[in-house]
Amino acid sequence: MQTVWVNTDTGSSPSQLKHHNGIVYFTSFGTGKLYAVDSETGHDLWEEESPNKSAYSQAGFDFVELTIDKEKELIYLNDRFFAMCIETIKR
């Protein structure tokens, strides 16, 4: 087995990785964020906190599995409080 890339900047304890259009999506328990990583290079494309996170709410994407609708290019997940739908990165 040969390691192609390693990304150490995405928190700890990632959820199951989901691949779509050359991008790997997952959540991290360590940061509570949703990540999009280029599957060829391992570089971060974005990392997003829950839109419901605030100084008063610890809403996060920790221990969350996501689902991708590949036809509509949408990500479905929850943040401990609400279910939501987020657009994938268009390539």
Give pLDDT, residue 15.
83
Q: Which two tokens stand for residue 74?
A: 């949408």
In the block, which residue shows the tokens 């987020």? 86
d(CA 89, CA 18): 13
d(CA 36, CA 50): 14
Residues in the chain, total: 91
Q: Indicate whether this model's pTM tops 0.85.
A: yes
Name the residue with higher pLDDT: 14 or 3. Answer: 3
Give pLDDT, residue 44.
94
Is 63 strand, coil or helix? coil
Read off the pLDDT of residues 23-72 as tens digits, 9 standing for 90 and up: 999 999 888 999 999 999 999 999 999 988 876 677 889 888 999 999 99
Give pLDDT, residue 55.
64
Q: Does an H or E element contain 75, and which?
A: strand 74-78
